Amino acid sequence: GAEKVDAAPTNGTYTAELWKSSDGGKTWKNLISDEGKFYFNDISCFDETHCVAVGEGFARDGSTQPGARVYVTSDGETFNLVHQENSTGADSLMAAYMVSQTEHWVGGTTKSGGLTAPALMLHSTDGGKSYKNENNNILGQMVTAFSFVSSSHAYATSVNAMQSCSLLELTDAPSPSPSPSPSPSPSPSPSTPEYEKPPCQAGEAEASVTGTSGKLCAPPCSASGSCPQNPPKDVTATPACILQDQSGNHYCALECTKTSECDQAGGSTCSILQGGKGVCTYAASKSGRATFMTVTPAEVVVV
């Protein structure tokens, strides 16, 4: 008779396996086995019975059920799927940390490789019944690992779309009082454009994009996130609130896809960052002392 051949998995890319050994690795018991949907990234256990594990599967790779996943167990063997993130098809969970039998954190991003994608820092205090994304509005960073000093003090590593790494800190200590906002500068007249070639006018930050030699003048975003709409003449790039410093202050830049959208007459070019998008920058001068600050979608230096 005809030989029976098992059908190939829908997606040969992903295989999720979770195994347990109770004798130092001499023998193993399979707890989860899945093909075609996702794979595991991390697992953390508070004790022998309480653990949390995270995994992910991407639509672009052909996952039959894309999204990031959280599994928990309270008996050390039965892992239950308690949470999924699938807002973009590229949601990612890379890190997990069990703080107690009922409290844990899982971390990643809403879109792997996304320049402005919100970070995922999901916190559960009820064993995975509910989660709160306590990401403090961090954008463009994918959490890759957690380390806890105590239940209220922790560190996390992250990476952005440009493969630049960052160290994040979680603490319950009161946040420093924000610096007093400077008195508003007189609004520039229509003949005085913003986003101009450095040196910058009062009220703007002079910044340079990490990974390029360019600089730009970045006016602050308004409280509602809007940006000044008076770029230099003939510029068609879009003013957008896409920069952020370490104090949480937001700045505007000209978002572009090609140099013809920038101030070519002034020597500006489009510094592409990721996904075909970038910001208009000017050739940087060698003068000035730089102070680092973190921004989205890239890192910049304020002079």
The 3-class secondary structure across the chain, one letter per residue, is: CCCCCCCCCCCCCCEEEEEECCCCCCCCEEEEEEECCCEEEEEEECCCCCEEEEEEECHHHCCCCCEEEEEEECCCCCCEEEEEECCCCCCEEEEEEECCCCCEEEEEECCCCCCCCEEEEEEECCCCCCCEECCCCCECCEEEEEEEEECCEEEEEEECCCCCEEEEEEECCCCCCCCCCCCCCCCCCCCCCCCCCCCCCCCCEEEEECCCCEEEEECECCCCCCCCCCCCCCCCCEEEEEEECCCCCEEEEEEECCHHHCCHHHCCEEEEEECCEEEEEEECCCCCCCEEEECCCCEEEEC
pLDDT for 179 beyond 90: no
pLDDT digits (tens, 9 = 90+) for 22-54: 999 999 999 999 998 999 999 999 999 999 999
Backbone angles phi, psi at 147, to 5 degrees: -145, 125
Q: Which helix (H) or strand (E) holds 299?
A: strand 299-302
Q: What is the pLDDT of residue 285?
A: 62
Query: What was the pLDDT predicted at 183?
Result: 47
User: Which of 124, 50, 61 lies closest to 92 in space, CA to CA?
Assistant: 61
Helices (H) and strands (E) in the chain, counts: 0, 21
DSSP 12-27: SS-EEEEEE-SSTTSS
Q: Which residues pair with 85 in a beta bridge?
A: 68
Give the per-residue pLDDT at 248: 67
Q: Which is nearest to 198 in space by CA: 218, 217, 183?
A: 217
Q: Using CA atoms, how far apart are residues 153 and 149, in angstroms rounded to an integer? A: 5
Looking at residue 78, its pLDDT comes to 96
First CA to last CA distance, the chain: 79
Binned at pLDDT 50, 70 and 90, residue 260 comes out as very high
Q: Is the pTM of this model over 0.75?
A: no
Across 292-299, average pLDDT: 42
- Please determine, for residue 196, whether its predicted confidence score (pLDDT) is greater than 70: yes
When pLDDT is averaged across residues 165-188 and rounded to a whole number, the result is 58
Band of residue 209 on the pLDDT scale cut at 50, 70, 90: low
pLDDT at 58 over 60: yes
**Which pLDDT value is given to residue 95?**
96
- Per-residue pLDDT band for 169 (boundaries 50, 70, 90) equals confident
Q: What is the mean pLDDT of residues 49-64?
A: 92
The span from the CA of 262 to the CA of 66, in Å, is 38
262 or 169: which leads in pLDDT: 262
* Mean pLDDT across 260-275: 88
Q: How confident is the model at residue 215 (pLDDT cuts 50, 70, 90)?
A: confident
Q: Tell me if 195 sits within 8 A of 216, measured CB to CB.
A: yes
Task: Say which residue, 249 or 302, is predicted with more confidence.
Answer: 249
Question: Nearest to residue 128, comparing CAs of 104, 108, 109, 145?
Answer: 104
Tokens of 184: 């508003």
Q: What is the mean pLDDT of residues 121-136?
A: 94
Which of the two residues, 15 and 163, has the higher pLDDT score? 15
- On the question of pLDDT at 104 being above 90, the answer is yes
pLDDT of 71 strictly over 50: yes
Phi and psi angles of residue 260, each rounded to the nearest 5 degrees, phi first = -65, -15
Give the model's pLDDT for residue 210.
58
For 227-251, what is each residue's pLDDT tens digit?
A: 999 999 999 999 988 877 656 678 8
Mean model confidence pLDDT for the chain: 82
User: What is residue 31's predicted lDDT score, i.e. its pLDDT?
Assistant: 96
- Specify the pLDDT at position 20: 95
Q: Give the separation between CA 54 and CA 257, rounded to whole angstroms.
A: 35
Q: What is the pLDDT of residue 246?
A: 59
Q: What is the mean pLDDT of residues 266-282?
A: 85
Kindly state the average pLDDT of the residues 150-170.
85
Contacts of 213 (CB under 8 A, 6+ apart): 283, 284
CA distance 253 to 29: 54
**Whole-number pLDDT of residue 241:** 87
Mean pLDDT value of segment 200-208: 83
